[in-house]
Amino acid sequence: MHAWTAPEVPGLPVAGPSVQVHDTATGGLVTVAPHDGPARMYVCGITPYDATHLGHAATYIAFDLLNRAWRAAGHDVAYVQNVTDVDDPLLERATKVGVDWVALAERETELFRQDMAALRVIPPDHFVGAVESISLVVDLVQRLDAAGSVYRVDDDLYFSVTADDAFGEISGWDRDQMLAVFGDRGGDPERPGKKDPLDCVLWRAERPGEPAWDSALGRGRPGWHVECTAIALQYLGSTFDVQGGGSDLVFPHHEMCASEAQVAEPGHRFARAYVHAGMVGYDGEKMSKSRGNLVFVSALRNSDIDPAAIRLALLRHHYRDDWEWTDAELWAAVDTLADWRRALALGAGAPAGPVVSAVLEALADDLDAPTALEAVDSWVAATLGQDGLADTSDPDAATTVYRLLDASLGLAL
Ligand code: ZN
């Protein structure tokens, strides 16, 4: 499917440093850089049954920072994102509100595109739906079957997690930790007939009233994890640099994706790094559908909130932190942008060189946007003379800082 219109990304006067991010699998910082060709990134996409909330936006903006840091370091980037446009939550929502599931998915996917474009997120090169990837999934399930890792429960096909010796290495969790969340995150640990409660469904046979496609596996539809595995292998190859998503995808989603890929492509690690964004809360709880405490990007945009202020408010928090959204932070971001625009309008300002270095270094150091923003705040304060001593010693400062904010932080002022 088509993605959204790409924002322009201006060039910078200097190249950024090589990029390090926190890898969940090893628990430490790793340098992520292309091995041959572009840097390759897969970020798990939405299930389009509801509008983009701020938790989603924070995640996609985090990986947008990585995309921009790679570009600043001089790398080309190959970026792939899926859309889970057929799955249980989507079908359940469509039934509940009495709309056709295809129409619901198309409507919400379009709203997501508009939100991402407004937030100046660089679009993926391949934005791929599950429905359009069914033949890829079928091929992959057949390869997994040939590798002896597939079995049948009634007419559904399951992946046997014991087929991958490395199963568990992404999360680092023990079985009790895995079993504690598996049922709440799309798994069915209680189902009779499974070889291991943690095995995940690859192909769900047709049920009355549910969509299904004819295939060599019988009529049915793809499981969730195998969709991402198939799309990533197709568009990024056996091994790529970063798989990203929210921290609620560590297990089972990214663990299962990796194990399926590693069984299908023996000897290849799936992603070199697994990078996870924290959860955004509101009113004391993680922002989630079931709690009904979502703040939607589109609702803020419809209230004439400057999307740059939404983006800035999100960037004030480190992507790996769990934190709570407050309206006060949004209003603070609106005020900050007014100050920044005032400083940029002067043309001349405090020397731009140090703020360029500070921002690029902070972002290359595990996407540390809060530290990058503090460097910009300092430049603005010096330029406006908030200590009583305005510094306008660099006649071209504003042009450089404007390009820096746009290219590195996605803030086009
Ligand atoms: Zn995924």
Would 247 be classed as within a structural domain? yes
- Spatial separation of the C-alpha atoms in residues 413 and 410, rounded to whole Å: 9
If you measure from the C-alpha of residue 47 to the centroid of ligand 1, how many angstroms do you get, rounded to a whole number? Answer: 10
Please provide the size of the chain in residues.
413
At residue 201's C-alpha, the angle toward residues 200 and 203, to 5°, is: 155
Give 151's strand partners. Answer: 158
- Spatial separation of the C-alpha atoms in residues 7 and 117, rounded to whole Å: 7
Whether the CB-CB separation of 103 and 146 falls below 8 Å is answered with no
Would 299 be classed as within a structural domain? no
Would 379 be classed as within a structural domain? no
- Spatial separation of the C-alpha atoms in residues 212 and 218, rounded to whole Å: 9
CB-based contacts of 145, cutoff 8 Å, min separation 6: 157
Q: Which tokens in the block code for residue 130?
A: 């599950």
If you measure from the C-alpha of residue 104 to the centroid of ligand 1, how many angstroms do you get, rounded to a whole number? Answer: 20
Would 97 be classed as within a structural domain? yes
Q: Which tokens in the block code for residue 68?
A: 């921009």
At residue 398's C-alpha, the angle toward residues 396 and 404, to 5°, is: 110
Would 341 be classed as within a structural domain? no
If you measure from the C-alpha of residue 245 to the centroid of ligand 1, how many angstroms do you get, rounded to a whole number? Answer: 8
- How far from the centroid of its chain's Cα atoms is residue 40's Cα? 13
Would 325 be classed as within a structural domain? no
CB-based contacts of 360, cutoff 8 Å, min separation 6: 12, 14, 16, 17, 69, 72, 408
Structural domain boundaries enclosing 197: 20-282
If you measure from the C-alpha of residue 378 to the centroid of ligand 1, how many angstroms do you get, rounded to a whole number? Answer: 39
Instruction: Please provide residue 297's backbone torsions phi and psi, each rounded to the nearest 5 degrees.
Output: -60, -45
Would 68 be classed as within a structural domain? yes
If you measure from the C-alpha of residue 308 to the centroid of ligand 1, how many angstroms do you get, rounded to a whole number? Answer: 27
If you measure from the C-alpha of residue 229 to the centroid of ligand 1, how many angstroms do you get, rounded to a whole number? Answer: 7
If you measure from the C-alpha of residue 345 to the centroid of ligand 1, how many angstroms do you get, rounded to a whole number? Answer: 43
- Spatial separation of the C-alpha atoms in residues 334 and 171, rounded to whole Å: 38
Digitized pLDDT (tens) for each residue of the chain, 413 residues in all:
999 999 999 999 999 999 999 999 999 999 999 998 999 999 999 999 988 889 999 999 999 999 999 999 999 999 999 999 999 999 999 999 999 999 999 999 999 999 999 999 999 999 999 999 999 999 999 999 999 999 999 999 999 999 999 999 999 999 999 999 999 999 999 999 999 999 999 999 999 999 999 999 999 999 999 999 999 999 999 999 999 999 999 999 999 999 999 999 999 999 999 999 999 988 777 777 677 778 899 999 999 999 999 999 999 999 999 999 999 999 999 999 999 999 999 999 999 999 999 999 999 999 999 999 999 999 999 999 987 889 999 999 999 999 999 999 999 99
Whether the CB-CB separation of 227 and 249 falls below 8 Å is answered with no
If you measure from the C-alpha of residue 253 to the centroid of ligand 1, how many angstroms do you get, rounded to a whole number? Answer: 6
If you measure from the C-alpha of residue 97 to the centroid of ligand 1, how many angstroms do you get, rounded to a whole number? Answer: 26
CATH code of the domain covering residue 158 = 3.40.50.620
If you measure from the C-alpha of residue 393 to the centroid of ligand 1, how many angstroms do you get, rounded to a whole number? Answer: 49
Total domains, the chain? 1
Would 34 be classed as within a structural domain? yes
If you measure from the C-alpha of residue 346 to the centroid of ligand 1, how many angstroms do you get, rounded to a whole number? Answer: 45
Instruction: Please provide residue 23's backbone torsions phi and psi, each rounded to the nearest 5 degrees.
Output: -100, 120
pTM of the model: 0.96
